[in-house]
Amino acid sequence: MRVLAGARLPDPDPRSTITVAAAQLGGPWLDVGARLKRLTEAARLAAAEGVKVLAFPETYLSGYPFWLTRTHGANFDDAAQKACYAYYLDSAIEVGGPEQRELEAVAADFGLTLLVGVTERGRGPASGSVYCTLLTITPEDGLAGHHRKLVPTYDERLVWAHGDGAGLRTHAVGPARVGGLNCWENWMPQARHALYAAGEQVHFGTWPGASKVSRDVTRFTAMEGRVFAVAAAGILTVDDVPDDFPLAAQLRDNSARMPFDGGSAVAAPDGTWLVEPVRGEEGLVIADLDLRAVGRERLTFDPTGHYSRPDVFSVTVNRTRREAVAFVEGSPRD
């Protein structure tokens, strides 16, 4: 693994500068153990480069459900599709489980805040459901953020459950406040608005890896929020599909050699590229961010400050975790 591209300052001021990176990675699809090893390798390299925040692609652990568009995923009551979903469900991780503890150890060992896209298996009443989730892991506190994608996009709704607003939060890392959204959530004006209002200065968008999809919205988010916008995108080749996946042969036959080509990038608060989208190979995209640029650009536009109109527009964000059932316990004799 190597550094693919970077935007480094000759003499960064630690009082106003933070170094961030996007890990543009692939690896065996739906193999959490193999991908955790690659994640750890990326963290080791990032720490050596002075990175403080390291972001990984959407559902990097265990993988994006790309079989749906290539194997007639909407066929109702189809035995093969049921088998695919069961395989995918078994590959998902539980928040609070051993994978989270391993991520916390990586964050602590290397002094990194990690933003990691995971395929999350629900617990309790949702143990048969999968969420597209973005975890924020800090060296000091472990799990600091647990955001479930608000609306799965198009065919994703066949396998991902709807999330909620509990994770629409930002987190302090050194001099910066950072936040993040999954894939097409980055197109949702209200979701972006919630993070801007929570003081976001560095916005991370996680993507499965389609540069033509992530390019425009990364620059737009930077310009709209007057924030630094970082796209963390994945790589996937058909060779990464395991042989025992129920529709492996059909999936390979109906896919390009590299279904996901990356596109990780970094845009400045004025919408200019610090690092243009990088495609087709694995590695780190690194940038030193001078946070003073955020203040300079907000002279002309601050979307939740002097350019808001709370007398005209009312915005409420419900940040409670939503569950299907709430059990009210009585006495043991009831």
SS3 content of the chain, % helix, strand, coil (to 5): 30, 25, 45
Contact 318, 164 (CB under 8 A): yes
Contact 65, 88 (CB under 8 A): yes
**Listed residue (158, 306, 297) closest to 227, CA to CA:** 297
User: How far from 279 is each of 192, 228, 244, CA to CA, in Å?
Assistant: 26, 20, 29
User: How far from 128 is each of 52, 125, 163, 245, CA to CA, in Å?
Assistant: 35, 8, 15, 19
Contact 209, 198 (CB under 8 A): no
User: How far from 42 is each of 1, 38, 91, 140, 159, CA to CA, in Å?
Assistant: 7, 6, 22, 20, 29
Question: In what order do the strands lie in the sheet containing 130-138?
Answer: 3-7, 283-290, 17-24, 53-55, 113-121, 130-138, 142-148
**Listed residue (72, 71, 65) closest to 29, CA to CA:** 65
Distance between CA 13 and CA 127 in Å, rounded? 47
Please enumerate in sequence order all residues whose Cβ is within 8 A of that of 178, keeping only pairs 6 or more positions apart, or say none.
20, 53, 113, 115, 136, 170, 171, 200, 201, 202, 203, 204
What positions carry a catalytic annotation? Answer: 58, 149, 183
Distance between CA 209 and CA 306 in Å, rounded? 35
Q: Which two tokens stand for residue 291?
A: 């946070």
Please enumerate in sequence order all residues whose Cβ is within 8 A of that of 46, keeping only pairs 6 or more positions apart, or say none.
21, 23, 54, 110, 112, 284, 286
